[in-house]
Amino acid sequence: MAVIMKIKDLPKIDRPREKLEKYGVKKLAEFELLAILLGSGIKGLNVIQLSKKILSIIQKIGIKKITLEDLLKIKGLGKAKASQILATVELGQRLQTDKKREILSADDVWNLCADICDSKKEHFIAFYIDTQNCLIERQIISIGTLNASLVHPREVFEPAVRLSASSIILSHNHPSGNCEPSQDDIEITKRLTEAGKILGMEIADHVIVAKDKFLSFKEQNLI
């Protein structure tokens, strides 16, 4: 019967964490870095063996193409660890590049709202954009049923001024899945657009998102 071996069960000379503390992170091999993140192995593979197996699969498929399903093909690797690995890979890729994310269409906004598209609560979000149409920062302004009292211009424009944004794209989700704008949606957009004109800051679009579709105020000539 195979025994799961944790990092602490390995000889001290082979323990990645101890090597990191003694020699620094740059002295560790990729499989040792991954072993630290995993913390323990699975049935039939200790943590070092598991790390090497995972890295071989990532290298074979490609770091940009690896999926959760690919990792789950490793017998004994659960969804929690597989998700942890995938998140680490994605984080590393995002931190590796200094290139800012361009927002050129409502479809880009929809993709950046993947975390709220099927939420049961409405989330009102502001995307702060620079002069090159690149995202400076995304902020959740409010959570709850959207109305004029919940979304105040101050909450939207204060970060814009602080971040030296050139324009703002608004977005919120409709839990119902229907992306048609309500009267409140239209009134809030109009109010914020007028406030933006006073401040010399454009509301470039307002995108209503749902799980499988979206609606752009700009494309519908509502802004």
Sign (positive or negative) of CA dihedral 79, 84, 85, 87 = positive
Residue 99 has pLDDT above 60, yes or no: no
Domain co-membership, 122 together with 200: yes
User: Does any domain span residue 222?
Assistant: no
User: Does any domain span residue 2?
Assistant: no
Q: Quick one: 170 exposed, middle or buried, by C-beta within 10 A (0-12, 13-18, 19+)?
A: buried
Q: What confidence tens digit (pLDDT) does each residue in 124-158 have?
A: 999 999 999 999 999 988 888 765 556 889 999 99
Domain co-membership, 23 together with 114: no
User: Does any domain span residue 199?
Assistant: yes
Domain co-membership, 182 together with 163: yes
Domain co-membership, 14 together with 88: yes
pLDDT of res. 9: 64
Q: What confidence tens digit (pLDDT) does each residue in 182-210 have?
A: 999 999 999 999 999 999 999 999 999 99
User: How far is it between the farthest Cα atoms of the chain?
Assistant: 73
Domain co-membership, 209 together with 114: yes
User: Does any domain span residue 1?
Assistant: no
Domain co-membership, 173 together with 119: yes
How does residue 1 score in pLDDT terms, banded at 50, 70 and 90? very low
**To the nearest 5 percent, what fractions of the chain are helix, strand and coil?**
45, 20, 40
Domain co-membership, 177 together with 76: no
pLDDT of res. 22: 81
User: Does any domain span residue 223?
Assistant: no
Domain boundaries, position 113: 106-216
> Which of 47, 78, 96 lies at the terminal end of a domain, its last residue?
96
Domain co-membership, 92 together with 69: yes
> Which of 67, 96, 125 lies at the terminal end of a domain, its last residue?
96
Q: Could you give the number of structural domains in the chain?
A: 2
Q: Are strands 202-209 and 167-173 parallel, antiparallel or unpaired?
A: parallel
Domain co-membership, 111 together with 73: no
> Which of 96, 126, 157 lies at the terminal end of a domain, its last residue?
96
